Chains A and B, each alone.
Chain A
Amino acid sequence: MRQLRLMIFTLLLSSVAFAQTRQLTGSIKDAKSGAPLPAVTVQVKGKNLATVTGADGAFTLKAPSGPLTLQVSLVGYGTKTMDVGPNESNIDLVMDESSTQLGELVVTALGISKESKKVGYAITKVDGSVMTQARETNVAYSLTGRVAGLSVSSTSGGPASSARILLRGMASFGASSPLFVINGVPIDNTQRGSAGEWGGSDNGDGIANINPDDIENMTVLKGASAAALYGSRATNGVILITTKGGKKGTLQVEYNMNYALDKAINFTDYQYEYGQGQLGSKPATQNDALNSSRLSWGSRLDGSQFTQFDGKTYAYSPFKDNISNFYRTGSTFTNTVAVSGGNDLTSFRLSLSNLHNEAIVRNSGVTRKTINLNVDQKVFSKLKVSVMANYIDEHSENRPQLSDGPMNPNNGLFLANNIDENILAPGYDAGNNGREVTFTDDIYVTNPWFVINQYRNNFDRKRLISAITARYDLTNWLYAQGRVGYDMINDRQFQVTPWGTAYQYGVQDDVTVSGSMNLRTQQITEMNADALIGVKRDITQDINIDVALGANLRKTNNEIVAIGGTNFIIPYLYSYNNVKQFNRDNQLYHKESQSAYYSVDLAYKNFLTIGTTGRYDTYSTLPEANRNLFVPSVSASFIFSELVNIPNLTYGKLRASWANASGEPTDYYITQQVYTVDGTINNTIVASFNGDLPNLNLKPFTLRETEVGAELKFFENRLGVDVAYFHRKTTNEILRGDLSWTTGWNRQFIGTGSTQNKGIEMAVTGTPVTTNNFSWNVSVNATNVKNKILDIYGSNSTNTTFTLGTYRPLNANTALVKGMPGPQVMAYDYLRDANGNILVSDDGLPQRGELTPSGSVLPKWFGGINNDFTYKNFNLSFLVDGKFGHKLLSASNYYAVYRGLHKMTLDGREGGVTLSGVKADGSNNSTAVAAQTYYQALAQNVSAINVLDGDFIKLRQVTLGYTIGDKILHSTPFQSIGISLVARNLWTIMKKTDNIDPEAGFSPLINYAGIEGTSLPSARTYGVNVNVKFKR
């Protein structure tokens, strides 16, 4: 190869004639060893003049006169340039491996650092700074639109709600967030309760606890081979978080302040022509008004006076300001102080942070205090010990109920279009024993002001994530490492359904009683112990080997203790001694896995690396015969730019990988039939048996992935392209399938699921302009994922659908459908005749037809564009992102139609609606139906109208920053001050949904993906961030 290149260059040289030339001579040596470097290409930049060094590292090159730039390059050493003056003739250069600009290190699985060029799979690193300026109360939301292959969806559940994070699509039936690993320690990211069709509050997930100020960077390991070393939990990918540490020889005090305001966005565009009432009439009595408070089927809003449900008289006129009036301006104030520093033996960083949030829902918000400590200590030259401790104390006040009516503060969203929501305040009647003032004919739709003023749903979390790592370097090529990570979470949820709640108000034994309370504590601990032996050495001059052998022990314990009571005896006294009925609960879960693993990388001359990993797991959750599994992976990376010289290509890498990953069931104790004692009825013992069918044949499920990719950098790194194609397939997926109730059990665990995801992810980074004072960086990422459900119940089964979630109107749902992308929205079409005509009922109404798959809720395409401009000390950046090719199931749309708010319901208000279709006898329909009757039947019978196109493009984030540097601050205690103005969710550039935010959703779970309704409005955030670094 060297000869070939020499020949080519010689040919090139001989074909060129020079007018004026001079002779350059010199030698090139290795920077570290001083050894001469042979075969280095030496070239005059911009000219076809080149030579290579001989065995002694020396070269001779004919060059034009005048100043020029010399470029030298060598496989494994990269490229180096040097300016040569007109009079210089003897040039001596040193090169070292670090001189390559692409020798960037990345952290991979188990915290092993690797040069990025050696990595045979896709990795994306996200700098911590993107999470600190324009903040979210859940740091995961900051990843939205940033990383190819990563889709982040928020929950409309208030501050610090959970995120749905999917890497490379829906990896498996139960796809959830990737595994988060902080400094090598896997942490618990379990979702703590979320809403379903019957309500519930989102109590956040594990990642939301992490203070963004402590994050140095996040590394997204996308593929299965990247994550293979983490075993079962890595099937959804891995996100490694590296926290900030101290730097040697410094002592730094840093203060960061962030203040952000949230303002609810009103996406509605309702009709304001016809107001409250039914069948075309405005309410005639107070009772009529109560029955129609959420029905805008009345007469034309004419400003006349009428009696409202509260008995008072109001003008029958449009009222449009409920969202801006009812939801307050929320705020989040975060203060962080960090001290960091280090000397030769010790480095440390300690940070204290306080977040105080007030949600847009009154009396609701989150406070979070975090303490983070990182210490690295060299005990003696060969032994290094690192300690991490991250303590989180979070308190959330009144987490809002979503989706269903009970205790939902968002129940005002579908009020008739002439009602000022403030007339519902304060929601209770102090003169009537504190009873809730109902505002509708459905007491399960709680007065939103009653919720705000009386309901309690507090969630506290105290959490310590800690790790201790000891690394002993036995020699310069052999080390042993031990690590124990411990994540301990204590949660406490306190809920009070208050005295006076309408749907719990009643009489018992001649005493008026109402309300209930519940206290639930949960302690989760996860312990990970790892032992690792690492070998890193050159076998020959050209071949380097990097081996890690290790073992892992993981133990998870989860205990729930709950006490509850219903029916308070004395009003407003929320004590467990003040209830008529008690209940209690205690659940204990243990699981454990034991694993051994290896990782071997063989590198040839630093341009070809072949890696392999393997992991052997034993899972306690599986039956004895099937609880072991070995999963291997192989990957390769090839820096082809080191071998062929392509004009303008600075760096070119091809990578390929193949990997297996495994997964265990997420449920515990599913291999045996158990029974429970349920208490007594009039002193007779009551027991029952568990409706989950045990399965003794479950095996760990596996995910197999093949990935190929390329990473290219052009024009001195001013343009970079990273492309990956992946193909992944799961087999033996364990799913908790519904059984027909007739079988005696209502759920079964089966191991026959199979999902396929294939796609392309692409990231382009560029620097179109760079001058001394100004630079413009742009990065674009785009992902295309094609999902297909290959199998659900096994090839012998005729069952082809697996029902997931539904919305509160209940007449549509999402489901996995064999052969189709998942999850599909299943909605009822019109009933049609054989010719496709709509079949109209005898009374002129649309009828319910087939339950039809209507498209997947997961986007086919998603991506983002970030622009970053720097002018002197100013910085401006903005992020635009979007998702395309997916559907939503909208309860808001249902309500807007059913309740006469939607603009489409204006058609037929006078004279009724005559549905175009045929009757059973084949005649054309000519029956006109009152608009209310028609649209209510439409919304109930034809849920297909509530399936909306989810495409959107949003201006997600804008930041404008200014840094005051040394020059101005030289006589102050400050080293630098950075001030930035930030905005999030500023502008929805494109959407196709009427009246709602296409990103709205009440649950982060995959079962409820794409389903929305009666949740918090989305908010726009404006803020300021001040960062102050103090001088030593």
Chain B
Amino acid sequence: MTMKMKKAFLYIGMVSALLGSCTKDFNELNTNPTAIPSEQMEPNYMLSRTQYNYANTGYSQLLFQSMWTQVFASTFNYYSNGDKYVGSANLISYQNRIWEEDYQAASIATEIGRLAKDKGLDNLYNASVIMRILIMQHVTDCYGDVPYSEAFKAREGVVSPVYDTQESIYKSMLAELETVTAALDPSKDALTADLFYKGNIAQWKKLGYSLMLRTAMRLTKADAATARTYAEKAAAGGTFAGVADNARVMTDNSANFGNGTSAALLVTDDYRDVKWSKVLIDYMRRNNDPRLTIIGEIPQAGLKANEDASKAGDRDSSRQLGMPNGYDQRGGATDISRAPGYPGGTGPANDFAPLGNYSRPTTALYTNRSGVEFVLTYAETELLLAEAAVRGWNVGGTAAAHYANGLTGALQSMATFNAEIGTFTPTQISSYVNAHPLDQSSTEASLKQINEQYWATTGTLFNFIETWCNWRRSGYPQLTPVVYVGNFSGGTIPRRIPYHSTEGANNPSGYQDAVSRLGGTDNFTSRMWWDK
């Protein structure tokens, strides 16, 4: 070997040594400097995230359930999925929305639970389970049998979770709720990022039992015995005592955590084209409901004014007019101008608003971009207790008293949207409540009245999935389906949402199993377990 070759190999050796010395740092190099590693993570901070994500699913609900339940109506083709059960181009992404939003929110809740357990944060763990159940009930109520027992376990390698039956999911949720709600303890760790109650553990306990009550009452058709057992447990444990206990999220638009429902309603097309349904406004008028003075407004005349959110409408309750569901603006037989009682449009020919005489949701009440998102309310729990009492279950108090509390809570809750417009005086409330006692002429009459009120209350509080669930369970109000050419539900009101469109590809075994239990078709019409 010549001297020069020796030199050459020396150089190579030096270079390799230089390179080799650096690889130790590769672990550090492959760590994201803008993210937080597990060991530094404070799990409390994710509680606010899961609460916000779950509460802020209003846009998804506007698209489907707000109109399936005939709370809202629209002639706009974009809302055909909701108003007429006719697929628009975006139907698949809409049917996926709640699935994605809720599973994501629930996965955060699950992750909080995992970290909380590791760190010995008992209250946080228990709160995270309540959150997970709250969200998962939303999911199963929309889709039916879904992954539950094996969900959220990709970390453990479970990437094709089984679809549990809704029955087993409900029973599991009830049992878990009982455990974690009882275990909440004000003397233990504080919840430091709680959007519902600012860490008030007593209120979390009430939330746990109120959720238990709602979960139990969902089973009146499918398994009345279980429903009764847990409804009674919930009542004994203590449900919401007033609207101060309402579970809700105040959104914060300035921090980019705005109210998605408001944002959707303020989009020009939606603003112009989403109207209260004739069914709801007629109900309110029939019952002389004071909410009719605040929830709707007739836009100022003309299309430009109909599109301009700065132009307040007329809230005079005598002028409010709901729009019938099932109409369009295509000039044919189902054109809105051919609807019975069509009031005509407003504005001159070059600024004509064909829907200008129908009531829209009041802008000042409902479209605050930092406005409230209701999750679960005192009004709902009191109405459910009223029903339980009507059924003769031992939930404390009388059906009539619970019903009166329900009406009171419903009216009082409106102030959270906007205190200026939404506040009713105690006198207004008591005179309305006193004038509308529970009809106890028969069990059926009571159930009808309670559940129609539940429909109007959850509808005006924009909890449309809850409105839809309770309609499916109770059958009230009796709604007439829209029958429109090309609809996806055989001319009936949808009773479920088809599964997420990628489940067939991403979890074929679980999906196929679930679809076979549906009778082979993943559609909008199959009834889920508690709806049979």
Contacts and interface: CB of A to CB of B under 8 A. Distances in A.
A669 B32 contact: yes
B267 A443 contact: yes
Contacts of B31: 669, 672
Given A502-B268, A596-B19, A799-B508, A681 B252 contact: yes
Contacts of A287: 303, 329, 352, 354
A748 B29 contact: no
A993 B254 CA distance: 49
B41 interface: yes
Interface residues of A, number: 108
Instruction: Tell me which of A311, A443, A684, A808 has the highest count of chain B C-beta atoms within 10 A of its own C-beta.
Output: A684
A843 B485 contact: yes
Interface string A920-945: 00000000011001001100100000
Given A278-B330, A588-B34, A937 B486 contact: yes
B83 to A, nearest CB: 15
B256 A672 contact: no
A742 B103 contact: yes
A922 B33 CA distance: 65
Interface stretch (A17-25, A349-357, A616-624): A616-624
Contacts of B435: none
Given A508-B369, A743-B153, A810-B90, A688 B35 contact: no
B19 A738 contact: no
A674 B32 contact: yes
Contact of B30 (A502, A669, A673): A669
B46 A687 contact: yes
A536 interface: no
Contacts of A743: 147, 151-154, 158-159, 161
Interface in B320-354: 329-332, 349-350, 352, 354
A744 B153 contact: yes
Interface string B309-327: 1100000000000000000
A478 B36 contact: no
A510 B15 CA distance: 67
Given A551-B19, A681-B252, A675 B92 contact: no
Contact of A442 (B16, B78, B329, B350): B78
Given A442-B78, A668-B32, A684-B193, A741 B100 contact: yes
Nearest to B263: A506
Contacts of B22: 553, 592, 594
A252 interface: no
A279 to B, nearest CB: 5
B467 to A, nearest CB: 25
A668 B30 contact: yes
B331 A284 contact: yes
B30 A620 contact: yes
Contacts of B26: 592, 618-620, 624, 627
A467 interface: no
Interface in A486-531: 502-503, 505-508, 510, 512, 531
A596 B30 contact: no
A772 interface: no
A680 B252 CA distance: 8
B161 A742 contact: yes
Contacts of A591: 29-30
B12 A583 contact: no
A531 B89 contact: no
A280 to B, nearest CB: 9
Interface stretch (B3-11, B228-236, B377-385): B3-11
B87 interface: yes
Instruction: Tell me which of A291, A671, A738 has the highest count of chain B C-beta atoms within 10 A of its own C-beta.
Output: A291
Given A531-B15, A676-B36, A278 B332 contact: yes
B152 A587 contact: no
B266 interface: yes
B194 interface: yes
Interface stretch (A88-96, A418-426, A689-697, A861-869): A689-697
A933 B331 contact: no
Contacts of A592: 22, 26, 29
A740 B161 contact: yes
Given A674-B32, A744-B153, A681 B16 contact: no
B102 to A, nearest CB: 9
A930 B332 CA distance: 11
Given A506-B268, A533-B12, A677-B36, 20 more contacts: A287-B352, A507-B310, A507-B363, A507-B367, A590-B33, A669-B31, A669-B35, A673-B155, A674-B38, A681-B195, A682-B252, A686-B257, A687-B193, A689-B41, A691-B107, A738-B506, A743-B152, A746-B100, A798-B160, A933-B486
27 contacts: A284-B331, A287-B303, A311-B349, A442-B269, A474-B8, A480-B11, A581-B256, A587-B34, A588-B33, A592-B22, A594-B22, A596-B19, A675-B37, A681-B195, A681-B252, A681-B255, A686-B45, A686-B193, A693-B155, A740-B160, A740-B506, A743-B154, A744-B103, A745-B154, A800-B508, A803-B505, A929-B485
Interface of A: 277-279, 281, 283-288, 291, 307, 311, 432, 438, 441-443, 474-475, 478, 480, 502-503, 505-508, 510, 512, 531, 533, 549, 551, 553, 580-581, 583, 586-588, 590-592, 594, 596, 618-622, 624, 627, 668-669, 671-682, 684-691, 693, 738-746, 748, 797-803, 808-811, 815, 841, 843, 845, 851, 929-930, 933, 936-937, 940
